[in-house]
Amino acid sequence: MCVEAYARLHFGVLDLRGSGGRWFGGIGASASAPSLLLSVSPADTLTVEGDDTDRATAFARRFLEHHRLERGARIHVHRALPSHAGLGSGTQLALSIARALAELHSVDVDSRALARAMGRAQRSAIGTWTFAGGGLVVEGGRRAKSDECGPLIARLPFPPSWRCVVVVPDGPPGISGADEAEAFARLAKPSEYDVEHVSHLVLMALLPALADGDLAAFGRALTEIQEVTGRWFAPAQGGTFASGPSRAFVRQLAEWGAVGVGQSSWGPTVYGIVDGADHATRLVERVTGALGSSGRVFEGPFRSEGARVWKT
């Protein structure tokens, strides 16, 4: 059994106030690269090898214990996503292992149940819903005093000609784990106007532009959402975007013609959207020249489907 899951791009949080009864929520999508790849085969005991083995082992044990499965498995992580880079590596690895083990042991569960079993989606559910399917996803946040995965409230496909350039510069890792929880606890609540403005941009600008295939309008809405929500996180990351190469590349991507630019989650990953493979190739060349050996750049269409699962 093999599973391939793709980098999750987080485009923004909807609500850090929670005054309406729900917290967080957000918008995001899957890029076509980078991706992780793992395989699972039957075994009496649990063995894990390859990339990111410590996290993979912990996730596998958690799933087997959650479902009280006495049989083991042999797991090989052939390729892992860059960790703590704003690409949802932990969630994608957790869900990939859970899905592979569920298939191997005939456990009938959906992606939301996988997330619950693996302790994911306690703040953002974007990675859960991009694992389940493609397109732009909007999730409705979790209820106060609940760790349930936020519900999927919209999923729209991207035009196939739209290309996403993903830049992963070398630099300080994004905030995660206990540090992330502490950072959220320290953040001031945004104004009610800001929260309403972001929701209005999503409902009346971002989603209609995507439905119409209007990249210019989509890019304007996405960039504004990133600017507004980035200010919410500025005290924790040093500005609207993370300091250093992330902030510089957001500005450069826009100068080089990307329409819709921003930072994924806490970074350091940033992205820019263009129309057409030729335009994307030229943008990648400029980014690669500026990046040198200090990071990686990926390019391709947005995913139209979720994670791939197949039997070897």
One-letter amino acid identity for 8?
R
Cα four-point dihedral sign 187, 192, 193, 196: positive
Alpha helices by DSSP H, listed for 170-309, are 177-186, 192-201, 207-212, 215-237, 245-255, 277-291
- Per-residue pLDDT reduced to its tens digit, 185-204: 788 999 999 999 999 999 99
Average pLDDT over residues 237-244: 90
Give pLDDT, residue 19.
Answer: 86
Give pLDDT, residue 193.
Answer: 96
Average pLDDT over residues 96-109: 96
- Per-residue pLDDT reduced to its tens digit, 143-177: 877 778 899 999 999 999 999 999 999 977 777 77
Q: How many CB atoms lie within 10 A of CB 74?
A: 16
DSSP code at position 158 = P
Average pLDDT value for the chain:
94
Distance CA 42, CA 75 (A): 9
Percent of the chain clearing pLDDT 90 (strictly above):
87
C-alpha torsion angle, residues 182, 187, 192, 193 (rounded to 10): -130
- Per-residue pLDDT reduced to its tens digit, 204-231: 999 999 999 999 999 999 999 999 999 9
Q: Are 147 and 263 within 8 A, CB to CB?
A: no
Give pLDDT, residue 146.
Answer: 75
Give pLDDT, residue 172.
Answer: 75
Distance CA 75, CA 39 (A): 6
Average pLDDT over residues 264-277: 96
- CA 124 vs CA 3, 180, 199, 254, 290: distances in Å: 22, 12, 16, 27, 32
Cα four-point dihedral sign 257, 234, 30, 291: positive
